[in-house]
Structure 1
Amino acid sequence: MRVPFTKMHGLGNDFIVLDARVDALPPMTRHSAATLADRKTGIGCDQLIILEPSSVADFKMRIFNADGGEVESCGNASRAVALKHGQPARVETDGGVIDVAPTDSGARVDMGQPRFEWQEIPLDYAMDTAAMPLAWGELTNPAAVNVGNPHVIFFVRDTDTVPLVDLGPQIETDAIFTEGVNVNVATIADRGQILLRVWERGVGLTRACGTGACATAVAAIRAGLVDSSVQVKLPGGELTIEWTPGSGIIMSGPAQESFSGTFEWDDFA
């Protein structure tokens, strides 16, 4: 069975997109997703995206990280999917229904409202998620936000000096985060700009993370550190995040198609 795919990216965070909205695919396993994501023996990606029919939205987006684990949400992939779909749509994800729309420069996504309660992150036990009484090495007192997937945010003097390759996997797999966590280290440049690096759950250090940008902006706005519309600068480029309490998070930024092709399903089963 030959399967068509589209390779896309948002700020260098790259995806294999499979469209199963009309023609169904065989069940995707963790092994198959990880094998397709392998950059030496597969097609290669940070996330594998499958588009499927939905009973509650225009279609569903399923998301598999590079390790093959299925996750709830992906902001950069949401922009890529908006570009591929070519018109505004409501999209079902395991993190909730989101609204996407292509723009002249990429896409705009309403990611829905952030969640802050400790059970919603989720954490293993109750604590203040605005300033958690925890530390890993030099990283202390983070904020935690769920934006469809769980994030922890550390505000630091200089993101580039944080040994995120060492600390990221420790924090991602700490037992306090019952479903794992994405790790963000951020520096407030001024009230209109945040500098951000992300260790992504199931992926590792990434050039860009859309949900990480959303979670970090929300945490900074909530703490009064930045304005309600802020530029988030990641190694792969910039996103604009807008949020006011009680409303959905609006993310705007670029997305691109890289190439397309086909593969033999049985080669990756």
Structure 2
Amino acid sequence: MSLHTFYKYQGAGNDFIIIDNRDLKFTENNPQKIAQLCDRRFGIGADGLMLLQSSKGSDFEMVYYNADGNIGSMCGNGGRCIVAFAKDQGIISGNTTFLAVDGIHDASIDQAGTWVSLKMNDVNNIDTDGDAYVLDTGSPHYVKIVSHLETLDVATEGASIRNQDTYRKAGINVNFTSPEDNGYFVRTFERGVEDETLACGTGVTAVALAMAKHNQQQGDIETPIRALGGNLLIRFHANNNHYSNIFLEGPAKFVFKGTIDLS
């Protein structure tokens, strides 16, 4: 029997399995096994799995797996959740620097340990595909403005775009958005999950930047975004087609912990 303690966290409904792997006892490099852990009927259930590991140049390293069991690109809400986990474990206090697949990230967490601000990497270009925008915010994203977003079949429409010849091999996350109050409503189809998720951190970041380009906004910008699982805030500076000082902010909460046999 090979028992491992796991923790479940969620950020705006984006949920993750987190394992403290500083002792490197979790050696599972089996996509099928990780996919089973993320399965909502035969496993713990999650949008992804993260390992917190030691890092010489920062407070910790975040290793992220998609729900299909494959190693993933940067996950914004996952990054915020692992910061909350690190605080709960006493690894960090209020501010932190950690290593992810796309490099070093700075983050901060409030005293209550539930609101996390995560600095994302700069974005130096936003391309177009017809009337949609395409950019990389740590993961590749497709952003399309639509009407009647509440009733849109995101799973079907998102899968259709994600599997176009242009995007099929590498995959792309597909975000549909519409203006709402002083911000935007966003629904996302995520590659690796291959379905709609309740929120996507790199996705809402991509939407905020794309809408700044769409509206020809410049300077310091704050964009509130509502996802199905909760509210998020993106702050950044726009200078022509260059976007810097990008922060993804929102809730990150502990759900439960348990043990599972991985033998």
TM-score (norm: length of structure 2): 0.88
Which residue of structure 1 aligns with residue 107 of structure 2? 100
Give the Cα separation in 1 of the matches to 2:96 and 2:26. Answer: 22
Q: What does residue 90 of structure 2 align with?
A: none
Deviations 1:107-133 (A, max 9, x none): 11001212426xxxxxxxxxxx1x313
Residue matched to 1:143:
133
Q: Secondary structure at the match of 1:205?
A: strand
Post-superposition CA distance 1:8-45 (Å, at most 9, x none): 11111111001112343213221111010111111111
Q: Residue 97 of structure 2 is aligned with which of 76, 84, 90?
A: 90
Tell me if structure 1 keeps the 8 A contact 2:24–2:53: no
**Pairs aligned (count):** 246
- Name the SS of the counterpart of 1:34 in structure 2: helix
SS of residue matched to 1:195: strand
1:157 and 2:147 are equivalent in the alignment: yes
Q: Residue in 2 aligned with 1:114?
A: 123
Farther-moved stretch of structure 1 (205-214 vs 225-234): 225-234
Gapped regions of structure 1 (runs ≥ 5)? 118-128, 134-140
Q: Is the CA contact (8 Å cut-off) linking 1:115 and 1:147 kept in structure 2?
A: no
Q: Return the TM-score normalized by structure 1.
A: 0.86
SS at match of 1:184: strand
CA positional deviation for 1:169: 1.2
Query: Are 1:186 and 2:177 an aligned pair?
Result: yes
Shift of 1:97: 1.8
Structure 2 unmatched runs, 5+: 88-92
Percent identity (aligned)? 30
What is the one-letter code of the residue matched to 1:112?
N
Q: What letter is aligned with 1:111?
A: M
CA distance in 2, matches of 1:144, 1:161: 24
The alignment's C-alpha RMSD in Å is 1.8
Query: Which of residues 158, 171, 188 is equivalent to 1:198?
Result: 188
Map 1:1-269 to 2 at 5 A: 1-86=2-87, 87=93, 88-103=95-110, 104=112, 105-116=114-125, 129=127, 131-133=128-130, 141-177=131-167, 178-190=169-181, 192-203=182-193, 204-224=195-215, 228-245=221-238, 246-266=243-263
